[in-house]
Amino acid sequence: MIFTNLTTKTVEATSLLIYVTVTVPLAYLVWTIIYNLFFSPLSRFPGPKLAACTNLPYLYWTSTGEYHYKIKTLHDKYGDVVRTGPKTLVYRTPQAWKDIYGHRKSGAGSFLKDPQFYLRGPRGPNIINADDEYHSRARRLLSHAFSEKALRDQEGLIQSYVDMLVERLDGEFLASRTADMSQWYNFALFDIIGDLSFGEPFGCLRESQYHPWVKMVFVSIKLLSLARPLVVYPFLAPIARMFLPQRLERMREEHFALTTEKVHQRLETKTERPDFMTYILRFDDERSMTTREMEANAAVLILAGSETTASVLSGFTFYVLTSPNAYRKLLQEIRGAFKSYDEINFQSVSQLAYLNAAIEETLRVFPPVPGATPRVVPKGGALIDGEFIPEDVSVSGAHYSTYHAEEHFTEADSFIPERWLEDKDECYKSDKLGAVQPFSLGPRNCLGRNLAYAELRLIVSKVFWTFDMAIDRSAVDWNIQKAYNVWERKPLMVKMSRAQH
């Protein structure tokens, strides 16, 4: 009798346990779905139903490297604002850029960077992922290193690497007649940014190969993208770790260790050369940076200052070489402007109208950060594109989708530098050029913008002045690329021969 009673009680307890562990979460799940679809303040925004209920589609799109294309498809289908997660909206209008990223009226809270997107490394915050207080101190300090005067002082150093690039390409051409320009631009940009950040190049141009540290940069960028599920769903961490190759994590650790070493080496060198560190070290008071902050920022300067510009150079070369009209006009302008190679400098290249238009057009069709850079709507909510959005929603503009929207640009997918010229055809006059914000805008826009333009103009002018080029058959669809925050970039094989002057 006692035994039967006990058994009945055990069965009842087990049933209750099953009921609680299965039914309660199930009920919660069903309620979350119903809430997200029908009662959430974002339920009025269009988008895929699954994305409204869970972040899984977003994580899938980013992990495949196709997020930028997916968002474009969604905007084309649903309109200028799409709900891509339970608390996420992605826009593609010029007004949304201003509302999300622009300067806010004093007193209005700022749109902070979305912490689920901007992950912090082991050295703590850096200028890109920091909160407002740290950011404004770091920005004030670093802005000296990016001033007009600093750029003028840095010209000699930058010129020397561009000349080395041209010399090495000459050698490469003699050896094989084709060069992977995507890789060669990277070599040059990494050497320049290495010298500006650490006081010494990575030796990529000299060795014609990537320094191990640089290889780790690529891994770090991809890892940041692939590790996102762990931030959105921390309980996935153990499962994700099983799939993420441990080698990747080890390389990321080595990356930070090497940065530390390089920063310390530079700090021990007493010099007045116009690199970033010289400007940072000029302040020895409350404005200055701790060594740990220098380590965190040096790593991010290398990332921000190399991949982006190298990516634009590769995109520029691809699009110009696959647009015979643009190639002809560009050669005419560059080779007509300079009698000799030595006349090519920061000042002289800034005057070339067609070159500048072609750079703008490259930034439009092939923006180096093609996806989105999300912010969080501040306390009290904010107006975006004329609509009130409640606080705590993740919002962003999407570069690739915005720049390829037919409603903003005539022949949006085509490379047409002429749309940026003063004297343009009637059909391009309605283009919304203000929709193109590859450097972002507002208080957290790109600090390296002037440096990037100077490098782009100089490198393009010297390379296109020196060589005749044609795209290799293997690279005809090069512009269709995956992106993990930045483009993955396949080899860009280009046939090269020395131009006859």
> What would the two tokens of residue 125 be?
């915050």
State in angstroms the smallest separation of the CB of 276 from ligand HEM: 8
Give the one residue of 62, 88, 154, 373 binding ligand HEM; rule: CB under 6 A.
Answer: 373
> What would the two tokens of residue 23 be?
């039914």
- How many residues form the binding site for ligand HEM (CB under 6 A)? 21
Q: Is 446 in the site for ligand HEM (CB under 6 A)?
A: yes
Amino acid, res. 395: V
State in angstroms the smallest separation of the CB of 129 from ligand HEM: 8
Give the one residue of 139, 424, 432, 495 binding ligand HEM; rule: CB under 6 A.
Answer: 139
State in angstroms the smallest separation of the CB of 118 from ligand HEM: 7
- Name the residue with tokens 């498809």: 73
State in angstroms the smallest separation of the CB of 468 from ligand HEM: 25
Smallest Cα–Cα separation from 293: which of 431, 132, 130, 149? Answer: 130
**DSSP notation for 36-82:** IIIISTTTTS-S-HHHHH-SHHHHHHHHTT-HHHHHHHHHHHH-SEE
Rank residues 88 and 308 by Cβ distance to ligand HEM and give the closer one: 308
Q: How far apart are CA 331 and CA 423, in angstroms?
A: 19
Q: Is 438 in the site for ligand HEM (CB under 6 A)?
A: yes
Rg (alpha carbons) of the chain, rounded to whole number: 26
Q: How far apart are CA 472 and CA 494, in angstroms?
A: 5
State in angstroms the smallest separation of the CB of 112 from ligand HEM: 11
Q: Is 127 in the site for ligand HEM (CB under 6 A)?
A: yes
Q: How far is CA 2 from the centre of its chain?
A: 71
Rank residues 72 and 457 by Cβ distance to ligand HEM and give the closer one: 457
Give the one residue of 319, 439, 484, 487 binding ligand HEM; rule: CB under 6 A.
Answer: 439
Q: Is 376 in the site for ligand HEM (CB under 6 A)?
A: no
Task: Choose the binding region for ligand HEM from 43-51, 72-80, 389-397, 436-444 (rule: CB under 6 A).
Answer: 436-444
Q: How far is CA 422 from CA 365, 386, 429, in A?
A: 20, 31, 10
Rank residues 219 and 447 by Cβ distance to ligand HEM and give the closer one: 447
Amino acid, res. 59: L
Rank residues 229 and 315 by Cβ distance to ligand HEM and give the closer one: 315
> What would the two tokens of residue 471 be?
């795209």
Give the one residue of 447, 454, 459, 460 binding ligand HEM; rule: CB under 6 A.
Answer: 447
Rank residues 52 and 377 by Cβ distance to ligand HEM and give the closer one: 377
Q: For 172-297, where are the E strands, in sequence order?
A: 178-180
> What would the two tokens of residue 31 be?
């309620």
Smallest Cα–Cα separation from 82: which of 60, 101, 58, 117? Answer: 58
State in angstroms the smallest separation of the CB of 200 from ligand HEM: 16
Smallest Cα–Cα separation from 59: which of 86, 40, 97? Answer: 86
Rank residues 57 and 125 by Cβ distance to ligand HEM and give the closer one: 125
Q: How far apart are CA 25 and CA 12, in angstroms?
A: 20
Residues 6 or more apart whose CB falls under 8 angstroms from that of 472 comprise: 178, 493, 494, 495
Q: Is 451 in the site for ligand HEM (CB under 6 A)?
A: yes
Residues 299-338 that bind ligand HEM (CB under 6 A): 301, 304-305, 308-309, 312
Q: How far apart are CA 213 and CA 259, in angstroms?
A: 8
Q: How far is CA 224 from CA 217, 469, 488, in A?
A: 11, 35, 13
Rank residues 74 and 451 by Cβ distance to ligand HEM and give the closer one: 451
Rank residues 85 and 367 by Cβ distance to ligand HEM and give the closer one: 367
Smallest Cα–Cα separation from 96: which of 402, 353, 356? Answer: 402
Hey, how many other C-beta atoms are within 10 angstroms of the C-beta on 212? 12
Q: Is 89 in the site for ligand HEM (CB under 6 A)?
A: no
Give the one residue of 266, 444, 457, 489 binding ligand HEM; rule: CB under 6 A.
Answer: 444
Q: How far apart are CA 84 and CA 116, in angstroms?
A: 14
Q: Whose CB is nearest to ligand HEM?
A: 448
Give the one residue of 435, 452, 459, 471 binding ligand HEM; rule: CB under 6 A.
Answer: 452
Rank residues 178 and 373 by Cβ distance to ligand HEM and give the closer one: 373
Q: Is 393 in the site for ligand HEM (CB under 6 A)?
A: no
Q: Is 298 in the site for ligand HEM (CB under 6 A)?
A: no
- Name the residue with tokens 């860009």: 492
State in angstroms the smallest separation of the CB of 194 from ligand HEM: 11
Task: Choose the binding region for ligand HEM from 46-54, 177-185, 441-449, 484-492 (rule: CB under 6 A).
Answer: 441-449
State in angstroms the smallest separation of the CB of 477 from ligand HEM: 23
Q: For 114-249, where are the E strands, in sequence order?
A: 178-180
Backbone φ and ψ for 440, nearest 5 degrees, come out as 65, -175
Give the one residue of 199, 201, 368, 371 binding ligand HEM; rule: CB under 6 A.
Answer: 368
Give the one residue of 81, 128, 204, 344 binding ligand HEM; rule: CB under 6 A.
Answer: 128
State in angstroms the smallest separation of the CB of 250 from ligand HEM: 26
Q: How far apart are CA 228 and CA 58, in angstroms?
A: 10
- Name the residue with tokens 């979460």: 25
Q: Residue numbers of the site for ligand HEM (CB under 6 A)? A: 127-128, 139, 301, 304-305, 308-309, 312, 368-369, 373, 438-440, 444, 446-448, 451-452
